[in-house]
């Protein structure tokens, strides 16, 4: 193992970067606190008046005391649906928590947000939660309290492959895979939404608050003229003692949550994948120093080894092909005791053995070739992959094209796509163009994908994109006989750049579930560790016989 990293000597540049990054974290935390209020204090008080817990209180009571709930997609729907008053966290909370010492995916409707109604992103978020349960063979708990589909947007929620019906399809698939699903009906559960808890393996219902039916009393009256209230139509006693639809009646939220814990306490364990883990060691350098290493401007260079030194155990790595393909770092290491294979973009300007200067963050032919081989090695050794992504793309130009950059890039993309070990992606800075794909962006099925607050996700950098877009607009205007003055061109360029930058932020990405969560760099080790621990619950990797093909 080789020691990496250097002691940081605080200078003004370091302090400026640290201040900048801490401000980003503070702003992010402030936005999270707003989101956690859900539909607002009045809506919370209304829920409390009924003797109900809030969604986050339910989760906190369900998980083990003093354990951590790793909430995911906290910023789902951020800045969206403003015409309807917004939908904080899309009206649904989900993440990974421990119940009786075992990891579970937990999904809870937030009834303070439009009575827990489902927006298009709510559907996507629930499908992502199920996807995580399926990929990692984790049991899943649904805490149901929802008025059903948000009707003004039903055309974007109901009919397509990845819409509402996919959730119930996933219920059936998970049951066939032996993935345990428990649903607690803690409020209304209406229409198509009634299938989710009833297609689970076991269903609990809270007396006086929980109800489940395909059509509520108002619709029943309109459809067939029958006059009946919701409790007699599909309340707890009716659905448990008469129809037999639900399995357990509980008096209140707390009793219901304790029953779930009791049921799960008796469940057996899955076979493990068997990823290598030993006792954890902290890095030799403080993880908080990442704040002062990363530049305020994500396009400026920095030494990626210094970031890695503050993430890996004992700040030690076994670097693979250290002198070759230097624009990518490939290394074996441990994170919180777990053996990992790291593929990281080197953001420094690099001098090669031939004296050539390579731009940091760009993938060259030799780097792509090295990474492809390393990824296959990790698959053969059953070592999870961690991608530390800060990439501006593949090298372009005649020299790169003549050297076969497309061919070598395709090798790397092929290796990433066909990798069977878990892939965890952290977007540290830039995530541009085909570099996003090669470094295991969302399209390449990372088990989990996280981003730092200063990251950028786009097809190319803002300055390049805005220049191209301006050129297109100017040519369109010329065809209609309009010529822009220099001031008009500059103002148009500013507007284009502003719009482009706004759609490249991690908040924009998190709102649309392109990433699973925006994380504090200090917590990188925690998130990677829980991701690998979750992945270790699925032993299917042992079915694959992965050889190394020397390309």
Interatomic CA distance for residues 413 and 274, integer angstroms: 26
The 3-class secondary structure across 50-116, one letter per residue, is: CCCCCHHHHHHHHCCCCCCCEEECCCCCCCCCHHHCCCHHHHEEEEEEEECCEEEEEEEECCCCHHH
Interatomic CA distance for residues 326 and 304, integer angstroms: 11
Phi, psi of 222 (to 5 degrees): -70, -35
What pLDDT was estimated at residue 545? 62
Q: Which residues of the chain have pLDDT under 50?
A: 550-551
Q: Residue 239 has what DSSP assignment?
A: I
* Partners of residue 408 on adjacent β-strands: none
Closest C-alpha to 415, from 341, 318, 321, 494: 341
What pLDDT was estimated at residue 462? 64
Q: Residue 449 has what DSSP assignment?
A: E
| CA dihedral sign of residues 139, 145, 147, 150 | negative
Whole-model pTM above 0.75? yes
Phi, psi of 197 (to 5 degrees): -70, -35
Cβ-Cβ contacts under 8 Å for 204 (sequence gap 6 or more) = 182, 183, 184, 185, 246, 247, 248, 249, 250, 256, 259, 260
What pLDDT was estimated at residue 460? 72
Cβ atoms 425, 452 nearer than 8 A = no
**Residue 357, burial from CB neighbour count under 10 angstroms (0-12, 13-18, 19+):** exposed
What pLDDT was estimated at residue 466? 64
What pLDDT was estimated at residue 416? 97
Interatomic CA distance for residues 522 and 443, integer angstroms: 26
What pLDDT was estimated at residue 216? 81
Q: Count CA within 13 A, CB hemisphere, residue 358.
A: 29
């Amino acid at each position: 193992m080789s020691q990496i990293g250097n002691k940081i000597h605080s200078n003004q540049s370091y302090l400026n970067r640290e201040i900048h990054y801490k401000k980003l974290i503070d702003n992010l935390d402030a936005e999270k606190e707003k989101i956690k209020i859900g539909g607002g204090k009045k809506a919370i008080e209304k829920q409390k008046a009924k003797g109900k817990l809030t969604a986050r209180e339910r989760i906190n009571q369900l998980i083990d005391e003093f354990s951590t709930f790793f909430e995911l997609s906290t910023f789902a729907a951020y800045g969206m649906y403003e015409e309807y008053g917004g939908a904080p966290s899309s009206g649904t909370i989900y993440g990974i928590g421990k119940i009786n010492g075992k990891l579970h995916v937990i999904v809870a409707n937030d009834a303070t947000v439009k009575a827990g109604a489902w927006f298009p992103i709510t559907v996507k978020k629930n499908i992502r939660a199920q996807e995580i349960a399926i990929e990692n063979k984790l049991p899943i708990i649904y805490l149901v309290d929802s008025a059903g589909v948000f009707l003004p947007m039903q055309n974007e929620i109901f009919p397509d492959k990845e819409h509402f019906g996919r959730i119930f399809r996933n219920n059936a698939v998970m049951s066939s895979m032996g993935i345990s699903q428990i649903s607690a009906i803690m409020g209304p559960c209406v229409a198509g939404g009634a299938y989710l808890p009833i297609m689970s393996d076991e269903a609990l219902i809270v007396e006086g608050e929980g109800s489940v039916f395909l059509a509520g009393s108002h619709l029943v009256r309109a459809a067939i003229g029958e006059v009946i209230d919701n409790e007699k139509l599909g309340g707890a006693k009716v659905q448990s003692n008469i129809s037999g639809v639900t399995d357990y009646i509980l008096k209140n939220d707390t009793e219901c949550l304790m029953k779930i814990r009791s049921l799960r306490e008796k469940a057996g364990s899955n076979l493990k994948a068997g990823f290598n883990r030993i006792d954890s060691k902290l890095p030799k350098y403080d993880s908080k120093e990442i704040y002062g290493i990363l530049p305020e401007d994500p396009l400026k260079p920095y030494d990626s080894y210094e970031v890695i030194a503050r993430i890996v155990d004992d700040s030690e790595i076994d670097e693979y092909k250290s002198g070759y393909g230097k624009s990518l770092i490939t290394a074996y290491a441990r994170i919180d005791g777990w053996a990992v294979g790291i593929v990281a973009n080197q953001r420094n300007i690099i001098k090669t053995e031939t004296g050539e200067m390579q731009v940091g963050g760009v993938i060259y032919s030799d780097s792509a070739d090295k990474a492809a081989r390393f990824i296959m090695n990790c698959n053969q050794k059953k070592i999870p992959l961690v991608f530390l992504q800060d990439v501006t793309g593949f090298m372009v130009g005649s020299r790169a094209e003549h050297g076969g950059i497309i061919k070598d890039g395709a090798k790397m993309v092929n290796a990433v796509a066909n990798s069977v070990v878990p892939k965890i992606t952290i977007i540290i800075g830039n995530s541009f163009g085909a570099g996003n794909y090669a470094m295991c962006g969302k399209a390449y099925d990372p088990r989990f994908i996280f981003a730092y607050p200063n990251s950028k996700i786009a097809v190319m950098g803002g300055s390049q994109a805005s220049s191209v877009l301006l050129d297109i607009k100017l040519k369109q205007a010329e065809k209609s006989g309009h010529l822009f003055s220099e001031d008009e061109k500059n103002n148009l360029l500013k507007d284009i750049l502003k719009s482009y930058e706004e759609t490249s932020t991690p908040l924009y990405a998190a709102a649309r579930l392109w990433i699973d969560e925006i994380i504090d760099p200090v917590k990188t080790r925690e998130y990677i560790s829980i991701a690998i621990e979750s992945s270790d619950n699925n032993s299917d990797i042992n079915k694959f016989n992965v050889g190394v093909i020397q390309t």
